[in-house]
Amino acid sequence: MSTPEVTVGKGKNIPTQPPQGKEPQVAIRTYSQRVDQRFVQYAFYSTYLNLVPEGIYARLKSPSIIIFWLMASTFAYIEIPKAILHLELSGKFMLGIKIFLVIASIALGLVAIIWYVDKMVISARIEHGLANDMGDIQQFYLGFNTEETVEGDKKVTKVKPVEGEKNDSHFWVLTVDDNVVGCIGLNHSQVDKLDKYYAEPIKAAAKTPETVEPAVDESSWLFKVFSAVAKVDDLISFCVVSGHNAAIGLYRKVVPLPDNVVLFKAHKKNEASLQRLAIKTEYQNHGLASILIKRAILWAHQHKIEYLFATTDELQKHAATILSTKYGFQKVEVKKTGYYSRETLWRLDVNEWIEKSLKEKEQEAQQNENGKSQKATSSSKK
């Protein structure tokens, strides 16, 4: 899908598949809480859920996990046949049990890693974002709240600026044929933003699941199978994550968290950060992220912001590649945030990028002019 010229307009936000057989209408505009919230949040968490394979691959490369996996498999392979030896089963039957144990140990190990990455890594990061800036994008990035009141027979929406600092933070949504498919935020706050996630340490997986209207016939065997699997998954999630929360709670009694955990550090007046770049899975790899990044860089330049920062984690390899190779973001530091997790901080000189872009446009225009001149010359000779 080619990337047409960016236009600005309002979107209807009806989720659809990418358009086929026609030139898509791409637009970028300022975020609207009332219209865009659930579509932007969907783009945010669906983009993260798409990174589950990256998380699995990272853990499969870990020597400690492989060693533990082999030890557990070897223990089961040796001890289980010993435990049933008194049954005096035939040699072929015992061989079948050993083959089954090998296959089961591989399958269960993979399932355990997939479940852990999905429930304990990816879901936690999604919840972390929703508990902070992605929970109220309008307030965090646009600096105001809206409140609906009834005056007489009419509903009136009142806009209230957020008390405190004024800055040039902003948030954009990208639409394709009026459907919200991506987003990006620019954080220009000059005060520390505290982490709200740890104020509510209970993860969503430990809460009672909400009842959802089934999308298939409840009497079908497919529904019954998936319903049973979902209940087992919910039960495991509830037990494991509740146990995790209890252990964290006990640990925090011994080693309490600081009262004020800073999530986003204060910026200097000439600095800002790109945050929450997301493109819906089915629209990725079409150059749409570039439209959002360019818009944010131009906004920064217009508001005299000289340096843009961005942070990627160990799962966001593709985003890191886009920032470094396409836009010239320079790596500042790599910080370890967990046993397997790390964050990379990137920095872009906005003025340098603008100058480079202008030179490239001038060269492109010159090449086009030379091409036209050559065509005109060849035509006159004929």
3-state SS, the chain, equals CCCCCCECCCCCCCCCCCCCCCCCCEEEEECCHHHHHHHHHHHHHHHHHCCHHHHHHHHHCCHHHHHHHHHHHHHHHHHHHHHCHHHCCCHHHHHHHHHHHHHHHHHHHHHHHHHHHHHHHHHHHHHHHHHCCCCCHHHHHHCEEEEEEEECCEEEEEEEECCCCCCCCEEEEEEECCEEEEEEEEECCCCCEECCHHHCCCCHHHCCCCCCCCCCCCCCHHHHHHHHHHHHHHHHHHHHHHHHHHHHHHHHHHCCCCCCCEEECCCCCCEEEEEEEEECHHHCCCCHHHHHHHHHHHHHHHCCCCEEEEEEECCCHHHHHHHHHHCCCEEEEEEECCCCCEEEEEEEEHHHHHHHHHHHHHHHHHHHHHHHHHHHHHHHHC
Q: Are residues 62 and 201 in the same domain?
A: no
**Which structure tokens are listed for 77?**
């392979």
> By percentage, how much of the chain surpasses pLDDT 90?
43
Say whether pLDDT at 208 is over 60. Answer: no
CA distance 298 to 300: 5
Q: What CATH number corresponds to the domain at position 43?
A: 3.40.630.30
Residue 229 lies in a domain: yes
Q: Are residues 155 and 209 in the same domain?
A: no
pLDDT score, position 13: 41
Q: Are residues 159 and 84 in the same domain?
A: yes
pLDDT score, position 377: 66
Mean per-residue pLDDT, 39-57: 91
What's the pTM? 0.77
pLDDT tens-place string over residues 361-377: 888 888 877 777 776 66
Residue 178 lies in a domain: yes
Phi, psi for residue 271 in degrees, rounded to 5 = -130, 155
CA distance 227 to 57: 29
Work out the pLDDT band at 273, boundaries 50, 70, 90: very high
Q: Are residues 88 and 144 in the same domain?
A: yes
Work out the pLDDT band at 189, boundaries 50, 70, 90: very high
Out of 2-16, 41-55, 114-128, 234-248, least confident range:
2-16
pLDDT score, position 156: 61
Phi, psi for residue 272 in degrees, rounded to 5 = -155, 170
Q: Are residues 206 and 341 in the same domain?
A: no
| Inter-residue contact 187 to 267 (CB < 8 Å) | yes
Could you tell me which of 70, 75, 40, 276 has the C-alpha nearest to residue 175?
Answer: 40
In the chain, the number of structural domains is 2
pLDDT score, position 161: 75
Q: Are residues 180 and 93 in the same domain?
A: yes
Mean per-residue pLDDT, 164-193: 92
Residue 382 lies in a domain: no
Q: Which domain holds residue 112?
A: 26-189+270-354
Q: Are residues 348 and 231 in the same domain?
A: no
Residue 368 lies in a domain: no
pLDDT tens-place string over residues 285-301: 888 999 999 999 999 99
| The Cα angle at residue 306 between residues 304 and 311, in degrees rounded to 5 | 125
Residue 16 lies in a domain: no
| Distant-in-sequence contacts of 142-145, Cβ < 8 A, 24+ apart | 142/30, 142/31, 142/169, 142/170, 142/171, 143/167, 143/169
Evaluated on CA atoms 113, 118, 119, 125, the torsion sign reads positive
pLDDT tens-place string over residues 302-324: 999 999 999 999 999 999 999 99
Higher pLDDT, 363 or 258: 363
Label the pairing between strands 154-161 and 144-151.
antiparallel
Could you tell me which of 295, 275, 267 has the C-alpha nearest to residue 134?
Answer: 275
> By percentage, how much of the chain surpasses pLDDT 70?
81
- Which of 228, 260, 292 terminates a domain? The answer is 260
Phi, psi for residue 341 in degrees, rounded to 5 = -100, 150
Say whether pLDDT at 168 is over 50. Answer: yes
Mean per-residue pLDDT, 125-142: 91
pLDDT score, position 183: 96
Could you give the angle at which helices 91-116 and 63-83 cross, rounded to 10 degrees?
Answer: 150
- Which of 210, 228, 260 terminates a domain? The answer is 260
Residue 233 lies in a domain: yes
Out of 95-109, 278-292, 367-381, least confident range:
367-381
Q: Are residues 48 and 127 in the same domain?
A: yes
pLDDT tens-place string over residues 76-89: 889 988 888 888 88
Say whether pLDDT at 378 is over 70. Answer: no
CB atoms within 10 A of CB 55: 24
Q: Are residues 170 and 133 in the same domain?
A: yes
Average pLDDT over the chain, rounded to an integer? 82
Q: Are residues 122 and 138 in the same domain?
A: yes
CA terminus-to-terminus distance, the chain: 38
Work out the pLDDT band at 7, boundaries 50, 70, 90: very low
Q: Are residues 73 and 200 in the same domain?
A: no
Q: Are residues 254 and 310 in the same domain?
A: no
Q: Which residues pair with 171 in a beta bridge?
A: 185
Residue 14 lies in a domain: no
